Structure 1
Amino acid sequence: MRLNLLTLSISLLLLFSCSSNDRVVSVPVTGVDITRKIAAVNKELTIADMELIARYFQKREWPTQNTGSGLVYYIYKSGNGAPAVKESKVQISFTISLLNGTVCYGADKPVEKEFVVGMGKEISGLEEAILLLREGDHAIIAIPPHLGHGLLGDEGEIPPRSTIIYDVTLEKVLQNK
């Protein structure tokens, strides 16, 4: 994966570099060509991420459900409260770890948070996942980089291009619209 990104970067550098005698090398490259190459690399990375997530759940023998976006989840304890819906205010508690088990947030005590679902203030993978839960549900949610913190990470504890694992409880649906 990283080799493909490196190869693409070097290729682009060579395409836009000057030769040793300062002549400009003319190579017919269009924005469409670059967009296609980037899309191909993104597709490869997404496939690799999904394979890692599948292995993570298989190793633990947890049954999973997948969404069309790439989110993978397992509800290990079902609640019987109200479902979260778009624009509902929810209260959750969670820990976040990486696929290798490194705990990023909530190691000593789960993090508690309230937010309105669908307002775009949380990562898209978390907002999507909460909409799959009912009050009282406990779930393991794997959020691939494209639904999480992307190429940069969170500039804190979550490294760049990391799949993150939420162990989340939907504590309360405080307000249902």
Structure 2
Amino acid sequence: MFRSFFNTLGFLVLLQTSCKEPSSNTNDKRVDNAHTDKVIKEQFIKANQQLMVKENDEMDYYAKSHKMPFQKTTSGIRFYVYKPSAKGDSIRDSMRVSINFEIKLLDGTLCYSSKTQGRRDFMIGHEDIESGIHKGLQYLKRGDKALLLIPSPLAHGLLGDFNKIPPQMPILCDIEVF
């Protein structure tokens, strides 16, 4: 009998405390969480900005050390046409192109090549190829041979390609356009 009395009393106490409005302490925790979330977000933004500055410096250093007059686009891609086409068409969005390519890391490590994988045929802006290649090709003409320095967000981003290109790594593409 006493046991059921204490069980009932315990249940009533539990029911009463669970039906109360949240205390100001809970509201304080929400404010603290919002502040913490804001601080963390600001730290991620700052870290990302620092990584972008570092990556831009690396790409600028590559261009200077190799004495190549790369042109920088608004998207951060740098391109250098080392063998311009005499009469090729300018490449535009939705145009079908074919390319021979070598994709390397800035230290010269060869990752992929059309010599082993074959020529790539695709439609500009509409197929699963690095977005930096799509964007960079639009500065070229059919018949051009060019180098594209592509920043990591337009290459393989934060995670790399899970094969040969590491995370947050800009790439160098040596391209011949057909």
Contact 1:94 1:110 in 2 (8 A): no
Query: Structure 1 residue aligned with 2:79, among 67, 73, 76?
Result: 73
Q: Distance in 1 between matches of 2:125 and 2:79?
A: 19
TM-score computed with the length of structure 2 as normaliser: 0.76
Structure 1's 111 and 96: CA in aligned 2 closer, same or farther, altered over 3 A? farther
SS at match of 2:119: strand
Q: Distance in 1 between matches of 2:118 and 2:140?
A: 18
Greater helix content: 2
Letter in 1 for 2:71: Q
Percent pairwise identity: 32
- Report the alpha carbon displacement of residue 150 of structure 1 after superposing the two structures with TM: 0.7
Q: Distance in 2 between matches of 1:120 and 1:30?
A: 40
SS at match of 2:82: strand
1:50-129 to 2 correspondences below 5 Å: 50-79=56-85, 80-106=87-113, 109=116, 111-119=118-126, 121-129=128-136
SS at match of 2:168: coil
Q: Distance in 2 between matches of 1:55 and 1:92?
A: 27
Structure 1: which 5+ residue stretches go unaligned? 1-25, 172-177
Aligned residues: 146
Structure 2: which 5+ residue stretches go unaligned? 1-28
TM-score computed with the length of structure 1 as normaliser: 0.76
